[in-house]
Amino acid sequence: MEGLFFNVNGGYVEGIVRGYRNSLLTGQNYSNLTQCESIDDVKLQLGPSYGDFLATLPPNPSTSALAGKMTDKLVSEFRYLIAQSTGSTAKFLEYLTYGYMIDNIALLITGTLHERDTRELLERCHPLGWFETLPVLCVATNIEELYNSVLIETPLAPYFKGSLSHQDLDELNIEIVRNTLYKNYLEDFFNFVNTHPDFAGSPTQDVMSEILQFEADRRSINITLNSFGTELSKQERRKLYPEFGKLYPEGSLMLSRAEDVEGVALAVSAVADYKAFFDAVGLSQGGSGMGGMGGGPADGKSLEDLFYQKEMDMSKLVFTRQFTPAVVYGWMKLKEQEIRNVTWISECIAQNQKERIGNFISVF
Amino acid sequence: MSGAVGREPVFPTRQSLGLMKAKLKGAEVGHSLLKRKSEALTKRFREITRRIDEAKQKMGRVMQIAAFSLAEVSYAVGGDIGYQIQESAKQARFRVRAKNENVSGVYLPQFESYTEEGVNDFGLTGLGKGGQQIQRCRETYARAVETLVELASLQTAFLILDEVIKVVNRRDINSELDELDREEFYRLKKVSNKKQRDNAAADAEILAARERAAEKAAQNGTPPVAEAEEPETTDVLGEQEDNDVIF
Amino acid sequence: MAAAAASTYKDRQFLAVIGDEDSVTGLLLAGIGHVTDPPDAQRNFLVVDAKTENSEVERAFKSFTEERKDIAVVLINQHIAERIRHSVDTFTEPFPAVLEIPSKDHPYDPEKDSVLKRVRRLFGE
């Protein structure tokens, strides 16, 4: 039934995205890329899918310049999509940009705290996290002003409300601010895809719920693992866990009490996927603890690699569903991974570390 | 430097023969001591230069590995953490202290790296994503910096020893002389330029100037050569002519 | 000489760095970053990119090597040292030690290193 009216508003966007998806690099492309001897070769190999965007790069560009141009293409394609969409689809696409907005705002808060020239900061902001009032943030000279007059005007205002006051911004570590915002964002997004009349009971609700649950769990696990050995207390840590997901509530509670890697492994063991990840990287065997990560597991995959792999699998599966803007989400994640992959490969080539070059995730 | 110019004015008596023999012996002992010291230092010096060469090669490798670990961080975080890191840096965790090592009476400082405990500016960086890679990268870079500090010690030792050996050994007396020659030549050129200009002035003026200079020299008892560098004393430059010919 | 040196290096406990963004980020991650107490709040690092003026690099180098007495080692990317080669070559004091380091995009070239050049000159190579 949902297919009956979707195409009236969302059909064009979905069609375009499916086209974009076909230009993603394939396993064959990647194996060509890994044979390259220089960044210029890489540039040449990327020609068919990136075309004009790489034309302005100087000969043998730096990897960051290359990644920048690739991101430009993603941005311009996404902007086209958002311009073509209306109604709930447009709202959905907006949600996709909030993650970048959070990073941009964290960046600007850091700059304002240290009284840096915020104009220079704007150049470092991610273009997808750009919103109209972003440059206004530069007007603020202190945190209180930033909070009272500027942040209120941003789409992220609800995420600050009730969780962070301007005193918090002054004192708290920016990472806590960032993760609090992200938690609120994920919860809001999850709520949006589950309750919006256009999405409730649609494929969008199905796939996005699963994806967002995974994202929430991944953040909780990462935050827990990365908090060991830092001054972040268990209470503070718990406040950063999104309150949904496969781990919520029992797993989250166990995570909040975990003291070490084994504790985390135990907390996630109820979910088969995560248990498999921990088993694969040997974290649940105990003994080695965080030190074991330094050496890395035998096949060179870290826990984060496995999470990325899972994310890619889910993003790829989105394309098996029809009549949903979730394909945009899937395409964006795939594209971002592609940029990371190419950056990694170029970095290996530029730094002459070819033995690790295969450590990327090829999806198609 | 030998010949009549360098010879000591000695009146030939038995007493002064004895004196001269004692002097010679003293000089020989002193020379051999200095020579031994210089040999010890030179040995050390050569060892250090060899190790600098090695350490610089090692540095290339170590820094490459470190740079690569940063690439892993960018991959895991999926973005740039540079700015945040720069803004979070407040207190140095990695510091050095200097201690001394005595080589034949010369103190060579050695930098020793240590960690200031309780300082952790980047504890939460990458909390939601990439924290493990960042942790690994920090360790890799800390090891790299240790190598750099080692190299810095060697380099400082090299510079100090170089200076000391110069003094002890007069090893590079020739290069010093060359340097002097060049300076002198440059000065002569300057002087002759000035002179050409001054030749336009009347002879009588020069004569008067010479008289005044002679008077002045007699009064001060100092040779006017010391003032040769000062451009405004044209009278002195006039005197300089004779000295320059000797050089 | 040795006695004179003792007083000049005792308080030197920090490293300083002049480099491209990646080098500085990495070295800061190692924990060398330090900001002196306010009000002057001086940083012991400078990020140099294509837009940075040579005069600014020069100024930082001067500050780290001559003005500040708490710096033991100055690390500088070799390709940036090239930009202020004269200042680097003419700085011959033992403290602070000036070390030219490679960067990600510019591997280390021993031919350009001012200390190694000195080593080679001494041995007449």
Round to whole Å and give the CA distance between B168 and A346: 54
Question: C67 — contact with chain A (CB < 8 Å)?
Answer: no
Alpha-carbon distances, residue C22 vs A62, A337, B138, C100 (angstroms):
12, 22, 13, 15
pLDDT digits (tens, 9 = 90+) for A266-323: 999 999 999 999 988 876 554 344 433 444 444 667 888 899 999 999 999 999 998 8
Q: Which residue has the higher pLDDT, A82 or A161?
A: A82
Mean pLDDT for the stretch of residues B168-181: 64
pLDDT digits (tens, 9 = 90+) for C72-101: 999 999 999 999 999 998 888 878 889 999
Identify the DSSP state of A149: I
Confidence of residue B157 (pLDDT cuts 50, 70, 90): confident
pLDDT, averaged across chain B: 78
The top-scoring range by mean pLDDT among A149-158, A229-238, B123-132 is A229-238
Q: C98 phi and psi, to 5 degrees? A: -100, 120
**B142 CA to chain C: closest CA distance, Å?**
4
Neighboring chain A residues of B62 at a CB cutoff of 8 Å? none
Identify the DSSP state of C30: T
pLDDT, averaged across chain A: 86
**C22 CA to chain A: closest CA distance, Å?**
10
The burial of A2, by beta-carbon neighbours within 10 Å (0-12 exposed, 13-18 middle, 19 or more buried), is given as middle
**Structure tokens of A258?**
């975990």
- Location of structure tokens 């889910």: A314
Q: Please, which chains are in contact with B (at least 3 CB pairs closer than 8 A)?
A: A, C
Give the chain C residue whose CA is nearest to the CA of A351: C104
CB contact under 8 A, B75 and A126: no
Helix, strand, coil: what percent of chain B each, to 5? 70, 10, 20
Beta partners for B44? none
Q: C101 phi and psi, to 5 degrees? A: -120, 155
Name the strand (E) or helix (H) holding A7: helix A3-22
Helix ranges (DSSP H) in A139-286: 143-145, 157-160, 166-171, 174-195, 203-227, 234-239, 250-257, 261-268, 272-280
Does the pLDDT at position B103 exceed 80?
A: no
Does the pLDDT at position A118 exceed 90?
A: no
Give the chain A residue whose CA is nearest to the CA of B129: A222
Round to whole Å and give the CA distance between B135 and B132: 5
**C116 CA to chain A: closest CA distance, Å?**
24
The burial of B178, by beta-carbon neighbours within 10 Å (0-12 exposed, 13-18 middle, 19 or more buried), is given as exposed
Mean pLDDT for the stretch of residues A176-180: 90
Beta partners for C71? C14
| Neighbour tally for C84: CB within 10 Å | 20
Q: C71 phi and psi, to 5 degrees? A: -105, 125
Does the pLDDT at position B169 exceed 70?
A: no
pLDDT of residue A300: 67
**Structure tokens of A298?**
């035998």
Classify strands C71-77 and C97-101 as parallel, antiparallel or unpaired: parallel
| Among B240, B165, B172, B155, residue whose Cα is nearest residue B206 | B240
| Contact predicate B166/B207, CB 8 Å | no
Round to whole Å and give the CA distance between A166 and A143: 7
Does the pLDDT at position A137 exceed 90?
A: no
Does the pLDDT at position B209 exceed 80?
A: no
pLDDT of residue A240: 93
Give the chain A residue whose CA is nearest to the CA of C41: A114
Does the pLDDT at position A185 exceed 60?
A: yes
CB contact under 8 A, C110 and B56: yes
pLDDT of residue B228: 45
**C5 CA to chain A: closest CA distance, Å?**
37
Give the chain C residue whose CA is nearest to the CA of B73: C26
| Among A147, C11, A72, A246, residue whose Cα is nearest residue B95 | C11
pLDDT of residue A216: 96
The top-scoring range by mean pLDDT among A40-54, B105-119, C7-21 is A40-54
pLDDT digits (tens, 9 = 90+) for A235-271: 989 999 999 999 988 999 999 999 999 999 999 999 9
Round to whole Å and give the CA distance between A145 and A161: 15
Three-class DSSP category at A28: helix
Mean pLDDT for the stretch of residues C51-75: 92
Round to whole Å and give the CA distance between A235 and B30: 75
**A343 CA to chain B: closest CA distance, Å?**
8
Confidence of residue A111 (pLDDT cuts 50, 70, 90): confident
- Location of structure tokens 């690569």: B68
Q: Which residue has the higher pLDDT, A274 or B198?
A: A274
Round to whole Å and give the CA distance between B31 and C67: 41
CB contact under 8 A, C102 and B142: no
Mean pLDDT for the stretch of residues A105-128: 82
Beta partners for C19? C47
SS (H, E, C) B100-167: EEEECCEEEEEEEEEECCCCCCCCCCCCCCCHHHHHHHHHHHHHHHHHHHHHHHHHHHHHHHHHHHHH
Percent of chain A residues topping a pLDDT of 70: 93
Mean pLDDT for the stretch of residues B58-81: 87
pLDDT of residue A120: 78
Round to whole Å and give the CA distance between A318 and C19: 44
Residues of B with CB under 8 A from a CB of A: 64, 67-68, 71, 74-76, 78-80, 83-84, 87-88, 120, 123-133, 135-136, 139
**C34 CA to chain B: closest CA distance, Å?**
5
Round to whole Å and give the CA distance between A357 and B7: 75
pLDDT of residue B148: 92
Neighboring chain A residues of B142 at a CB cutoff of 8 Å? none
Count A/B contacts: CB-CB distance under 8 Å.
Answer: 101
Locate the DSSP E strands across chain C.
14-19, 45-47, 71-77, 97-101
SS (H, E, C) A95-138: HHHHHHHHHHHHHHHHHHHCCCCHHHHHHHCCHHHCCCCCHHHH
The partner residue sitting opposite B141, judged by closest CB among C14, C29, C94, is C29
pLDDT of residue B238: 47
Mean pLDDT for the stretch of residues B204-217: 77
Round to whole Å and give the CA distance between A363 and A69: 21
Neighboring chain A residues of C105 at a CB cutoff of 8 Å? 62, 350
pLDDT of residue B51: 86
Neighboring chain C residues of B141 at a CB cutoff of 8 Å? 26-27, 29-30
| Contact predicate C12/C39, CB 8 Å | no
Mean pLDDT for the stretch of residues B126-143: 89
Neighboring chain C residues of A38 at a CB cutoff of 8 Å? none
Cβ contacts of A249 within 8 Å, gap of 6 or more: A243
CB contact under 8 A, B96 and C72: yes
- Chain center to CA of B67: 32
Q: CA torsion, points A340, A343, A348, A352, in degrees to nearest 10? A: -170
Neighboring chain A residues of C104 at a CB cutoff of 8 Å? 350-351
Confidence of residue B47 (pLDDT cuts 50, 70, 90): confident
CB contact under 8 A, C26 and B70: yes
pLDDT of residue C2: 42
The burial of B232, by beta-carbon neighbours within 10 Å (0-12 exposed, 13-18 middle, 19 or more buried), is given as exposed
| Contact predicate A118/A111, CB 8 Å | yes
Q: Which residue has the higher pLDDT, B44 or A140?
A: B44
Mean pLDDT for the stretch of residues B192-205: 77
Does the pLDDT at position B99 exceed 50?
A: yes
pLDDT, averaged across chain C: 84
**A52 CA to chain C: closest CA distance, Å?**
24
Among A46-50, A262-266, B80-84, C38-42, which is the least confidently predicted range?
A: C38-42
**Within 13 A of A128's CA, how many CA atoms are on the CB side?**
25
Give the chain B residue whose CA is nearest to the CA of A172: B124
Count B/C contacts: CB-CB distance under 8 Å.
Answer: 162
Alpha-carbon distances, residue C91 vs A267, A301, B82, C43, C87 (angstroms):
59, 47, 30, 21, 6
